[in-house]
A and B are shown apart, each in its own frame.
Chain A
């Protein structure tokens, strides 16, 4: 019953910024940790970042640490990913994903957004 809708992707030049959004519905958004996962063209899945249900804890993949910022607005049921200093290696489809267990530590993803593509090109 849960639904996640990703948006905000597009074409951006190297070194520029982009902000992705993920609108959630059909579940108690404020009770679940949320993640971003990306997939470069023709490649596998890469976990990017997580934010805890209340927004207090955040962790990042080494490949994006210091450049990407995950955040959430529980009043708007929306997850964000601010991506700065983008490089060609960041080009991918970005998915938001919901944890399956509420208010828990790291766990599986039971709902995924449809993905939003990011192209980094001059």
Chain B
């Protein structure tokens, strides 16, 4: 099974900052990765798929990059509404594992 390790597990940043979350795969997974945002008490929301494709309706300050074993989600110009937990997900074969999550706090 593919294991996904996210770092950091928690970060605190100010409005307007640029933040980057990393997701490392236990073996090469090409670009078969998605990113989700989850706010407390809500279902996850798709942000990015196939590593770098922005889901329709998602603000352009969100971007994804990477391939193989190392991926990143970048939020440029952090906004108050971006306070949430972010998860990466492996896409190509079962089980479709998730990373452990990164909680983003706005200072």
Contacts and interface: CB of A to CB of B under 8 A. Distances in A.
Are these two chains actual partners, yes or no? yes
Interface of A: 35, 37, 44-47, 50, 59, 61-62, 95, 100, 105-110, 112-115
A45 B88 CA distance: 10
A61 B55 CA distance: 27
15 contacts: A35-B96, A37-B44, A44-B100, A45-B87, A47-B96, A47-B97, A59-B95, A95-B43, A100-B46, A108-B34, A108-B50, A108-B91, A109-B34, A109-B44, A112-B45
B43 A47 contact: no
Given A44-B100, A47-B98, A59-B94, A108 B89 contact: yes
Contact of B43 (A35, A61, A105, A115): A115
A42 to B, nearest CB: 11
Contacts of B94: 47, 50, 59, 106
A106 B91 contact: yes
B43 A106 contact: no
Contacts, number: 59
B54 to A, nearest CB: 12
Interface of B: 34, 36, 38, 42-46, 49-50, 55, 87, 89, 91-101
Given A44-B100, A110-B55, A112-B43, A61 B95 contact: yes
A45 B89 CA distance: 9
A39 B96 CA distance: 14
Contacts of A37: 44
Nearest to B94: A59
Which 5 A-B pairs rank lowest in CB-CB distance, beginning with the nearest? A112-B43, A108-B49, A108-B34, A59-B94, A45-B98
